[in-house]
Structure 1
Amino acid sequence: MALPTVILPGYLESATAYRQLEQSLQQLGFPTVTVPLRRRDWIAMFGGRSVTPILKILDRTVKQTLQQYQASQVNLIGHSAGGWLSRIYLGDKPYLGRGEVQSSVWNAHPLTATLITLGTPHISQERWTRWNLDFVKNNYPGAFYQNVRYVCVAGKTIFGERRPGSWLAYSSYQLTCGTGNTWGDGITPIVAAHLDGAENLVIAGVRHSPRSPGIWYGSPEILQTWAQYLA
């Protein structure tokens, strides 16, 4: 039997945006649960503050899923910011977010067979997110845990340019990796979505968000490209 899979939504997304992906994975034989986030749950992260509140909900969901399916491990799917948040969750270093007086350690890598990140910006130049991302980069560089399979999926859809139709992509890419004239999914550039030592994939034509027009990483016609890596 396939391991249960837990989806961690992206920044400012709620669990409802991932229902189709959840159902599609279940149809492929992967018992799947989405972390029950509401859009307002992300407010606690505004201004580069601690991500602990989100990770507590993730941890509770993983523990409940392990118990429900009587499993010893899960697959984790992190969309966008959910990918680097998952890397903090795997880790064994004390995390002390801004404004916190007590650090937290989740040490969830023994519970995780595979981590798949979808359009995740693993680096950032933006000052409000950079503190948290630097914590990840400095403590858990690349595909850090050898007992976890890392699969990083990027989209090659929009080339960032300073012209109508590409301006948002240009600005987002520049804020993420420092270069606007590059390829990405419209929000995350390819160079930021991959990790050293991971199995890095590029899918043409996919857009960043489940709310984007057209197809995104979780669309039924796309997901089998990366779902084959789930344990």
Structure 2
Amino acid sequence: MPLPTVIVPGYLESAIAYRELEHSLEQLGFPTITVSLRRRDWIPTIGGRSVTPILQQLDHTVKKMLQKHQATQVNLIGHSAGGWISRIYLGDQPYAARGEVKSFVWEAHPLVATLISLGTPHISQERWTRQNLDFVTNNYPGAFYKHVRYVCVAGKTIFGARQRGSWLAYSSYQLTCGIGNTWGDGITPIASAHLEGAENLVIAGVRHSPRNRGIWYGSSEPLKTWVNYLI
């Protein structure tokens, strides 16, 4: 039987946006739940502060799914920031970001069989996210835990340029990887979405968010590219 799967929402996103992806995975036989976040749950993390409140809800969801399905492991699907937040969750180093006194350790890597990141900026030059991302990069570089399968999915949809229709992508790519004139999903450039040692995939035509018009990573056709990596 396939392992239970937990979806980790992107930054400032709620669980509601992932209901269609949940349903698609359920139809394919994967028992799936999204961490039950509301947009306001992200407020304490704004400005580069600790993402501990999100990690605590993630841990609660994983433990609930393990118990419900009598399983020893889960799959994690992290969309956008949910991907690097999941990497903190796997880790065994004390985590405390700006504005937090107490350090936390989840050491969840034995509980995770596969981590799939969708449009995740695994690196960033942006001042408010860099502290958290530097923590991840310095402590868990690349596909760090060899017993965890890392799958990093990027989109090749919009080429960043200083012109109408591509300006947002250009600015976002530049803030993320330092280069605006590159390909990405409109928010995350390919250069930031991949990890050394991971299964790195590129899907043409996908937009970054489930709230974007058109096709995103969790739509029916792109889903076929990465779903077979789930266990």
Shorter chain as normaliser: what TM range? over 0.9
- Equivalent residue runs for 1:1-231 within 5 Å: 1-231=1-231
**Counterparts of 1:222 and 1:201, CA distance in 2:** 11
Per-residue CA distance 1:201-224 (angstroms, 9 max, x = gap): 000000000001110000012101
Give the secondary-structure state (helix, strand or coil) at the position aligned to 2:196: coil
Give the secondary-structure state (helix, strand or coil) at the position aligned to 1:130: helix
Please report how far the alpha carbon of residue 230 of structure 1 lies from its aligned counterpart in structure 2 after TM superposition: 0.1
Percent identical: 80
Runs of 4+ in 1 over 6 A off after TM superposition: none
Q: Partner letter of residue 90 of structure 1?
A: L
Please report how far the alpha carbon of residue 98 of structure 1 lies from its aligned counterpart in structure 2 after TM superposition: 1.4
Q: Partner letter of residue 2 of structure 2?
A: A
Please report how far the alpha carbon of residue 51 of structure 1 lies from its aligned counterpart in structure 2 after TM superposition: 0.6
Please report how far the alpha carbon of residue 96 of structure 1 lies from its aligned counterpart in structure 2 after TM superposition: 1.1
**Counterparts of 1:11 and 1:153, CA distance in 2:** 17
Q: Partner letter of residue 208 of structure 2?
A: H
**Counterparts of 2:99 and 2:15, CA distance in 1:** 27
Per-residue CA distance 1:29-86 (angstroms, 9 max, x = gap): 1000100000011111111000100000000000000000000000000000000000
**Counterparts of 2:101 and 2:160, CA distance in 1:** 41
**Contact conserved, 2:112 with 2:148, CA < 8 A, in 1?**
yes
Count of aligned pairs between the two proteins: 231
Give the secondary-structure state (helix, strand or coil) at the position aligned to 2:46: helix
**Counterparts of 1:100 and 1:37, CA distance in 2:** 20
TM-score under structure 2 normalisation?
Answer: 0.99
Please report how far the alpha carbon of residue 195 of structure 1 lies from its aligned counterpart in structure 2 after TM superposition: 0.0
RMSD across aligned positions (CA): 0.4
TM-score under structure 1 normalisation?
Answer: 0.99
**Counterparts of 1:16 and 1:215, CA distance in 2:** 17
